[in-house]
Every structure is written in structure tokens, then in C-alpha cells.
Structure 1
Amino acid sequence: MIAAKKTSGKSSTEMFDDVPVLRRKWHAALRPGESLPRYEDVMLGSLGKLADHIVLLKHNETVLEVSRTGRYIQKWLEDDRWDIPLSALPPDCATALGEAAACALATSRPYLAAAHCVRDGVVQTYDILALPTFSRWGGTLIGTYVNERAPKYNLLDAIFSTTDEGVLSLATIRDLSGQPFDFQIVHHNQGTSRLLKLPSSGLLWHRLSAGGNLLCLPEVIERLLAVVNSGDRDQFEIDSDDRNLRLGVTAFGDILSLTISDVTALKRREASFRLLFDNNPMPMWVFDAETTGFLSVNDAAVQHYGYSRATFLRMKIRDIWPEDEWVIHTEALQQIGDAFYSGRHWRHLKADGSEIQVLTYGRRVSFEGRDGYLVAVVDITERRKAEARIAYMAHHDGLTNLPNRELYQDRLKQALEQAEPGNKRVAVLCVDLDLFKNVNDSFGHPMGDRLLKQVADRLRSEVRGSNLVARLGGDEFAVILASDVSPKQASGFATRLIQILSAGYDIDGIEVVIGASIGIALSPGDGTTSEELMRNADMALYRAKSDGGGVHRFFEREMDRQAQRRRDMEFDLRRAFANGEFELHYQPLVDIAADRISGFESLLRWRHPEKGMISPAEFIPVAEDIGLITPLGEWVLREACNEAMKWPSGIKVAVNLSPVQFRSRNLVQVVISALANSGLSPRRLELEITESLFLAETEANLAILHQLRELGVSISMDDFGTGYSSLSYLRSFPFDKIKIDRSFVKDLAERSDCVAIVRAISGLGRSLNITTTAEGVETIDQLDWLRAEGCNEVQGFLFSAAKPAAEVEALLCKFGERASQAA
């Protein structure tokens, strides 16, 4: 039971003395291991006068009940009942107590809060301290201390006294006949004194007829008298030299309520608005929100639209709209609020009848006492033209003005969608120019560009209607025939196109002749999507180019199977390199004069886990195409050098280099690394290249060859005599060895021309002090011919096929025995 003593409330200072006492009492009662102290230890005994300020709340599950209240609390609540739900109390008190109790329960700690109660316009602030406790009778009890914090204040007086506006009341003074003729100030706030620049004592009970302030002006008194007589309201403005005041008047019988607002800044903003409006380079106007008539237009609008100002002010906003947009303009106008921005562009009419495209920005304004909209106009006509041009350029080739790949793919998808319901055929033709590279190489790229323009003109003249021709890039074009074409029609069109494109071109008096190859794919048989048709037409084009060019080929399923095999090989190659499926075999190089092995050529082999040995002729070109040959070549160099270190010191190792390895530009560093890691002498390493290396970037490749030669490495030209310029290459670089191609060795005993070629190459080698090696030696007769013609070195099946590294020692021993027997 809480002991209650009478109290009249406590001061703010006393309250803050009580709060620490109650907090300490709560913490002192908290026992080790318990989350809350017991109710008896906190709320019973030694509370004294504090008991009058405490309300005991009982928490049952989710409901709070008022269990006990002190006298001060009963007065605060205006209710002395006990054992009632909290919701039965006045809402302001119930909310404050409920929030404080909820926070105390959530934290299991004392919680201090503040509450503001308003009674009859009077505001009182209270401090509330909620103390959660554990009850041995079950549940949780919250002892809540309440006391006012600060003096009370009148809410209405506080609002009126703190507002920037002047608020005052005037009493009407009537004459003997009952007519109003004067007014007396009976109440005012501080805002009135400030705005009228007079002390409060000089205003209260002051009669307006006595003069002395702006309210005493005759025109003001006249407006006030009119309000008293009509019982209505009025609003007007009065101006002095330095200020503008707006007065609002309302009559309550003979009492007038008057509000005074300082609108000086507003007036200045309006003046600035006029200045910005009139002199703004952007077209602007104000139109009436109700009638949509123009209320004002600035000079920029007059000049831009071409209407005179007088004409503008006789027009309505719809007069500048094109008639076909009246409905959507009107609907948009009905939906705008206080401010708007046109999310779309609009069309406007100028005085000369021309159209412009604009964006509009606006806001609702009061203009000369009328509700209107201020509108600013941005002319985007030129911008829209530029955007249209950019959009066109994004879908067209800049050189030929034909559709580009992106537009081509979009139109192909549309054609397929339209053809699908009737199972109609769409043909895709991939067109590639033959010999175009020769034009660029011979005459330069500007000539090539002019040729492409003429090609585009010829294609454009042949491809009409719903069909489309596009440039996909370089000298590659593509055509869509969308009008349900048959294979025969597609074939006839392709034949005619090849003839037209293959006719001569006259460019600045120079006759240029090229050709064209075409690959064709037809839906739905060759594919139902744009990607499938393009891929299959491209495969057909590849077949047409492989067949010599100047022809067209239709897609066949075998092409797809070949492409799939190629894709499978690419995948297997990458996996094989990662899994270490490659190995090196070594074929002996035999010195004819000494009848001994002078070295071994390392040959790459691929042992596929399922397909067995795969020929280098199959996988080397693929490895070059996918860029795998560079890391694979590095592995070959390292492996061959390491293996050669196991051989006698006089035995060399030859390693074939791909032209692709020269593109990486780090080939010299790779060779140096392989020699350094293995410890092999550079003079024991022989690098073999083919003449295809000289077909591109000759100077750069020659520089690399010279760097390799400076290391002490030997450089050999493989397959000598099969190209067009082999002799000129011997002038470009001092080779250490030339290898006679097996095609000359094969028919050496049967064909005199082969003998002549071998004799010439051997003689050339002797003259230039270059070793000559014959490849593909398989018979004793061939060996005898080569020995007779002065060839230095041979290799082939007559001596041994390429063998794994483990069998090299046996080969060396075998030839060693032969040499001993011969001696």
C-alpha cells in the first residue's frame, strides 16, 4: 500500500532532486541474478511525500491497469478510481503513462520521459519516471512518478505573441445616430507593435481618428467602416516609403479582427519576377487558369513565335496547339497541379504556320489578382533533329549509309516473326567481297572506302521493298529476302548479285575488278532464329570462299557438323593443355657424310584420352586460330631443351616455331628462359620457321630472327622451294639451314625435274655455306640420289619415324654401332 500525503505539487528543482533518489532506491533494491527488483523493496516504506506523485501500474500480458494513485496523481488525472484499465484515463495522460511504462518494460530499467497536457488552452509539461518492479503476487508492477516541470502557459497567447504577423482587435465607435465613425484598439500582440513601429503603450486603447500610425490613414478607416457595415471580410494593402503591409479584416459584430502581414519582400520578389520575366531570353507567358487566355507574354515569346503582343493577348493557349493535339493538350492541362514539367515534347504553331517542338515548365501564380500559370518554353526542334540523326547513325553504317548489324538483326527478327504464322520462308544472304584486300594493299584504304560506297550503291539498287541490305563490317554485307522466297529464287538472286558486284568499277579513271561470294540460309529449315540463320549463312559463305570464291552456296547440315567438330576440338585442345595430354616425339637428323645422328627434330603429338593420337595437321591450325599455340609453343621449347640435356653434347635439337608465336613479341625472352632453365647451350638449339613468317610484319619478324641468331641459336627454313619467294628470303636473312620439302624427295628417282630442283638447292646451299637437309627419305635409292647431289643431312622413315623421348637413347646406340661397323 502506498502511503499518501497531501501535496500541492513540487517545483522543477525539487522534482529533479526526487528523480535521482528514486533511481538509487531502484538500483539498491536490485538483487544479484535478478532482472528487476521486488516491488516491496522499492515502493513500500520511506517514500514519504513522494507517494502522492506515484501511480502504480500493473502489467498483465499486454494490458496496463491503474492499481493505485497518489493524491497529486488523482488531481492530475481528474480521476480518483483504482483498479481500472489505463485506457479509461484521459487520452493525454494515458498516452504519456503508457509510453513511459512500455519503454521501462522493454529495457528493464528506469525510464524518464516528458508529457505535455493541454487543458482549456493551458499547456503544462510533466516529467514522468517509470520504475519497473517484480511482484511476488505475479506479473510486473510499474511505479510511475509524475510532477510538473515548468510553469503553465496559455497556448493561444503563446501563438499570438510569437507569430511574426500583427494580430489586433478593434472596437467600433458609433455616433448618436448609430453610425460607425471611429475605432479603438482594444487588444494587440507584439507583432503589431513591431510592424507599426510603435510601443505597446502607444497602441492599446488608441483611437484611429487620433492618427499616429499607418492604420489611421483615411483610406484604411474607410475600408474598415465598409467591413463593419457589410459584416463581410476584406483584404487590402497599404504602402509606405519603405514597407508594404497587407491587412486582413473580419467583422464579429462591432469587433473587428485585424491581421497585419509584412509583404515587402513579396513585393520585391514580384518586381524581380517582372524583371526576369520581361527580359528573359527564354520565351515565357502567363495564362489564365480558368479561361486559358494569355495574360502576359515576354519579348522573347513575341520574337520566337512571331505573333505581336496585342495578338498574343487576344489569343488562348489552344491557339498555338496543332489541331490534332488539342485533345491531349487539354487533358494534360486538366491534370496539372501547382507546378508541372512536360515529360514529353509538344508541338507548337508559330505565326507563319511552321511547327516547333518544345518542352514546357510551369507553376501556378497569382497575376494581377487572377489565378494563372507562368510557363517557360524550351525550343527543342533542333535538338530533336540532332537526336533523330544520332538515332539514324546508331543504326546505319557511317561509310555506306546502309543499315548496320544492329538494325539488320532487328529487321531479321521482325521478318521471322511475321513469317512464322504462315510458315513462310525468309532467306539470309551473307555477302563477302573477293580480292578486296588487294585493293586496299595496292591503292590504299581511301580507295577501298570509295569502292565500298559503290558496292553499297549496287546492292541498294537491287534490294528493294520489304527486303533489306546491310553492311556488317569491313567488306562483309548481308541481305534479307523476306517475301517467302523459294531456294530457286534465292539462288537466282544470289547469281545476279554476284554478276553485278563482279562488274568493273571506275574510280578516278582506275578500273578496279573484284568479285563476291555468297552464303545462303533459309528459314525455317536452316533455323528459326536470327542467330541460327546468320550463323548458318556464314558457314555457307565459308564453303563458297573455300570453293574458290565467285559462287554462292546454300547451308548444309554437314557444314554444321564440321563446325561442331571444330568447336569440340577447340574445347578438347584447351582441356588437353590443362591436363598435360601433349607429348614430344623426336625424329633423327642423319649426317650423310658421317652416317651418324647429328640431331633430332622435336615433333608435337596429342594423345587424346578417347580418340587416341590426333595428327598435328588437324590440331596445329586450330591451336593457332584460338591463340593456344603461343603457350603450347613455350611448353615445347622448355620440354625439348630439357630433354636435349640428356643427350650427348654433340647432338642438336630442332624446334618448329609458328608465325603466331612471333606476334607476342616476347619470343626472344621465351627462348632465353628455356635455355637458362635447362642449361642447354644455344648452339645445340635449332629453330625451324616457314616462309609464311615473311608474309606479314617482315621487318619486325626479321628483327626477332636476328636477335635469336645473336644468342647463338641456329635458324632453319622449313619446306624450302614450295613458296613463291623462297630465294628472296635467303637474301633477307642468313639462314643456317634450308630443308628440302618432301614433295621433291618423293619422286626423286622417277622425275628429272625433282632431281634438278634438289641439285639446284644443294648447290645453292654450298655456295651460301648453308646446310641442306632433305625431308621424307624413305628408300635407299632416294638416299643415294641425295648423297650424289651433295645434300648434307637427311631425315625420314628410312632411318626412323619420330619416337618418344624414352627411345632416343636406343636410336643413338643403334647408329653408334653402325658407325663402328662402317669404321
Structure 2
Amino acid sequence: MSAAKKMPGKPATEMFDDIPVLQRKWRAALRPGDRLPRYEDVMLGSLGRLADHIALLKGDGTLELSRSGRYVQKWLGEERWDIPLAELAPDCATALSEVAASALKNGRPHQASAHCVRDGMVRTYDLLALPTASRWGATLVGAYVNERGAQYNLLDAIFSATDDAVVSLATLRDANGQPFDFQVVHHNKSAELLLEVASGGLLWRQIGQGTSLLAAAEIMEFLLKAVSGGRGEQLEIESDGRYLRMSATAFADVISLTISDVTAMKRRDASFRLLFDNNPMPMWVFDAETKQFLSVNDAAVQHYGYSRAAFLRMKLHEIWPEDEWESHAEALERVGETYHSPRNWRHLRADGSEIEVLTFGRRVPFNDRDGYLVAVADITERRKAEARIAYMAHHDGLTDLPNREYFQERLKQALDQAAGKRVGVLYIDLDLFKNINDSFGHPSGDRVLKQVAERLATAVRGVNLAARLGGDEFAVILAADVSPNEASACATLLIDMLKAPYDIDGQEMVIGASIGIALSPGDGTTSEELMRNADMALYRAKSDGGGVHHFFEREMDLQAQKRRDMEVDLRRAFANGEFELHYQPLVSIASDRISGFESLLRWRHPDKGMISPAEFIPVAEDIGLITQLGEWVLREACHEAVKWPSDVKVAVNLSPAQFRSRNLVQVVISALAQSGLSPKRLELEITESIFLAETDANLAILHQLRELGVGISMDDFGTGYSSLSYLRSFPFDKIKIDRSFVKDLAQRPDCVAIVRAISGLGRSLNITTTAEGVETEDQLDWLRAEGCNEVQGFLFSAARPAAEIAKLLAEFGQRASRAA
């Protein structure tokens, strides 16, 4: 990755504010009894600007970059998603891997720092990994990344910070052009320390006239030789018990002199034997030509089980398994001065057992022989752990059945080996399983899922495979040239088996199952086609009331397929953070200033672009996603509104499903508390459908919200058949005049009369009136004349992303500042 210019980032002080906020958000989302909080509660909603600094990683073994914010994309130099970390720049990939691995291992947020070099500049980044669990069983890690304010030039830092003395000398020549002395024109701080001279005691001095170590005759001769020869020279001297190594390189009449104190290195060489013998890592020296062991340390003797005498009679190949002799020998032929084993090797211990090792070595002289010093790292246990991780990556953690990834791999293999024979896919969805979770709790639901998995594993054997795809969805591969009748019989057997009662702590629980079937090659020749078509067949089975199986049919209603695709996309969209809020201004007619913004949900599909709320909101309501979406909208809107001026409100639409959930008041309290937004700045918009069901219960919720100080607004007023009675039932703060009356104000007297009546009604009841859909100045003039208080519509602005709010406020002369 390269960076032509510094990436914009937040100051370090803001970073330190962000990390505690994210840590508190993670802890607040952690539910009692859960190891990790849910992904939706941590990473969705209320992130705001922090979302640009978040990289979403998924996978329990090999990590993959699932999503990344704009800032992270600039840091990575990569805009792609759904790619392995190995495809990223190595420094970024290593930093993300290490911080995510620590967070996953410990089950809590992990903070770390990373250093990257770009164009000679060293930049330091702070990282925070937040491990979360998703409803599909996968582990997701949100990694926050931001640059610290300080950065420095690497070359300058090395020159200034190195312990070596670096001195630049200009050659002085006599009248005959012969060099006779040298003048110091530049040096670093280490030069004064190493040569033991006072600060400023070297610069611009002739070394031959000074008293420093440089004035020594052998050094002067060394420098004269360097400038005369025009090449690099080296000299090692002893002075007052110190060993100094000098390296001089001449560039015309300028010499670069580097002086290193090698006293410690000399002492280290003298103590090599001591370090070798007492090193806890197995080490040995072998002859570079004969490959015979020349020396082994105590750790090698203990770890391998050979006596020292036996070791010294052996050659390298005797600790290699015979099947690796050739590959070991070839690897040794390619060894240079140093090496790090390019792969894992197997070694034999004295008892015949095998271990897996990594080896590291360098060429050394040993007792007048050319040898290699080798250190051995035993990774046997690590490899076992990796094998376990690989197993876990392909199996469901709850049921131990193969997971979706492994299912897809096996399905591809079955199709590759089918050679024209039929392969069947059965998609299984549990009926009434949600009732188990709602009535008895998720622990009981998990135990039911385990028993479902046991029954499937018992029934599906041989070359066939049963897997859990996620939630209460399972699937089966029938790989043995299955006929339609056999697939139907298998589905019937599974349905009958799965609907038998489940005993959970003496409590009998009953669920059912619906199954969709697709058979190759008629229903698809690839794993993707078969899984998609089996899923569509499952949708038809569920539509028929459940408890049945259905084959995929090409003539299935295309609208049903589109609807099913929408459901799948919606669930993925919520998990992947594809939703965003746009805000349309509400303008006060009296002051001609923005009095608030209505938050409007938008879905930016990665392939289809923006999808109209009219298309996805009804589907979200049908599949039960609207409540979670509504909670996210509320949290996100409050989090954004707290940044606006204190006199600007935010309006959020509520769905009937949120009232049915019966936790709406708690959700509102939580959103206000987390964001710090004043309740008086929040307006909740409802439609008359809220009153059409469970009126008393819904009215009680509305009164509780009013007691908090939150404003309540009736949307689309005048379009229902009983709106006036609602004004008697509840004291609304605002009524919104539907756009259908505003559209024809200038042409239709009846629209004028309706707007006049609603505005008058509002004045009489001290209720604010807001007109929607204002698009022309004529409409605005009519509304002003009729006494309407607020307006919104394209005349002022369409709904805009949060990033454009400050600009809108500026256009209306309002100062966009953070307000409590």
C-alpha cells in the first residue's frame, strides 16, 4: 500500500474519546449469560462518524475483511470487501490480524497500536477490536482504526536516534592537491557521546588539530587511504577498553564516517557458548559439508531424547523421516548465510515419535569448521490447535453439524463427481421454532436445535450430508443419484421425524419442519443454483402452511421469488450495515429557519443501489425485522441530532410493530440516554393505524412517552376515516397535513378549505401544523396565508445524508454546533 499524501484522521485527543465510547458501547450491549454481545447492538446504530474508521472482520480461523469504512479504505489502500486479510498490505493485515486474534481469544475488546512506513514517514495508528456474535452463528470483529497526530521522517529519526556515530568530513588539500587533513562538516549527537567531546566541540574543526580520538595517527591514515582510494574502507581499533569499528566511504572530497561501539558484540561472541548451552530452545551446530552434528545444547538432548554422545555420532538425516529425506536435502542445498525454514518439517525423536518443527539457522565458524547454528521451534501442539480451528471453521459451534461453508464445499464436490447423475438439495426450515424461543427462552431453543441436529445426523448417513446453515435453517445433500421419489420419501421421513415431541427438562415441546427440494441437473448444475432453487421451493412450502415439502418448479411465481430475494437481502443488509438515514428539513414559516429534520430510512443495496422504502418496509414488517430497524433508526437519529443546534429537533417515524413489542418506552429512554439528546428535541411520528388495534395499550404507551418530554406527531392527518376522534383521545403536539392536500392548493378550492380547516383546528387546540410535499412558492404562499406553522418538501430540500446537515443549516443561517 502506498500513500501519496497524509490521510485525514482525527486528532489524538478525539481518538482517546472514541475508544472509551466504543468500549462502553460494547459492555453495554453484553447481555447476562452471553460470552459476546450481539453484532447488531454494538456495530449498528449510533456509530455516526466512527463508522468510517471501522473495519468489519469475519471468521473464527482465517479472517476476512467483510466491510470497511472510508477512512479504513484509505488506510488499507483497498476498497474491495469480502477478501482475505492476506490480500491486504502486510503491515495493515498483520495489525488487524493480531488485534482481532487477541480480542477473539480473550472474548473482550483489545486495544493495540501499529506502525506503518509510508514514503519515508513513520505513522502510528491506534486500533481497537470489538468481538461480537451474530445471529447466524458467525463471529464478527469490528476493528476501529485511527492515526495518532505525531509522525516523523524515518531517515531523520534513524540518523538522530542511532547509537552509531555518523560524521561527515570534508577533505583539505595542500597546494599540490594532496590531502593532509579533514574538517568536520556534520555529525549526529551520538558522535559527541562516542568520541567523548563537548557539545559543539567537533563541528567545523580540523581533526588533525584536535584532541579527539579522530586525531589518532592510525585513524588519519585510514581516512587518507579512503579518500585516495575512492572506495569504502573499514578499521577496528581498541581504545581504553572499548572496541570501535569504523567504516568510511568517500564521495569525491567528502567522507561519510560511521563509528560503531562493538564492545558488547565482542563480549557476546565470548559468551556464545554460555548462551548456547543454557538456551531453553533446542539448538545445535552441524557441519555444513558432512551434515554431522558438531554440538547440541541441553534443551535439544532433553527434547529429542538422544544422549549427547548419540547426537554427536549422528548426521542430520537420521532425525528426518525417510519420506522427507529428499525434500530436506534439497532445502539444505538452497541455504545461504541465514535461513528460516520455508515450511513445517517433521523430526524423529529417540522414542520414534514425530514432532512438527520450524528451524532457523545461520552460518557460523565452529572449531575451525564451517557449520550452521540451528534453533528449533516445536509447533506440534500449535498444529493440533490449528487443525481444531480448521474443524471449527467448518462446523457449527452449537450443533457440531457441518456449517454453510462446508456444506457448499461438499455440494460442489458432489456435483463435480456426479457425472450427469442426480444430486439433491433439501432446504429445511423449522416451523414454530420462534415460539420456543419466545416462550421458553433461547437456552431451551438451543437445546431443541441440538436435538434436531442429532436426529438429522442419525437419519442422513453415508455419502449424504446434513448441515446447519444458521438459525433454525438446516440442509441435506443427497449425493447418491437420487430420484424424485427417493427425495420425496426422504423429505417426508425428515418431516415426520422432526415433528416428534422434544423433551427439554421434562417439558414436551413440539415444532414442525418445511422442506424445499432441488435436484440437479434439471434444477441447476452449480451449487449456487441448487441452493437458491431449493430455497425458493422452501418458500413455497412455507407459503402452503408449513409441515410439507415442495419441489422447485420453473413455473413458480416470479413475484414470490422476488419477494424471497428481498427477504434474504434485507436480513443480510441489516447485518452488513447497508441501511442509512437521510434527513429532510422542517422549516418554520414564521422564522424561515429550520426547526427540525425528519429522519427517513434508506437502503443502499451493494448491487441494486438505492431501494425505495415503499418496496422494503412492508417486507421488513412481514418478516419481523421492522422492530430492530426501528430501534436502530431511533438510536442513530438521536446520536446525529445531538450534534445540531439546540433549537433543532429530530422526528422519527414509529411502526405499529414497535408498539406491539411493548418495549418501545425503554428503547426511547435508552436512545436518549446513550446519545445525550434532550427529550424535548425528539418528535415521534405515528399514523392512525396505531389506534386501530389495542387502542388502550397504545394510548398508555403514548402517554408514557409524553411524560418523558418527547413530542408526539400525527402523520398523514386528514387521510383516515376517524382522525378527529384521535385528537380527543390524545393531546398531540403536531399534526401533519398530507401532501395530497398540498399538491393542488392553487387549483382546487376544496384542498384550500381542508388545509384552512386543519390549520384552524391546530390553532384552536394549540397543536403545531406541518404541511408535507411543498414544492412551489405558490403552495408556500397559500400555506402561509392559511396559518400553517411548518412546511417540508422539495422546495426547501430533499432528504439529505447526515454529512450534509451542516451545509443545510448554514444555508438557512443557523450555526451547526454540538448542543446538549
TM-score range, shorter chain: 0.3 to 0.5
* Largest Rg, 1 or 2: 1
TM-score (norm 1): 0.43
Greater relative contact order: 1 or 2 (C-alpha under 8 angstroms, separation 6 or more)? 2
Report the TM-score when normalising by structure 2: 0.44
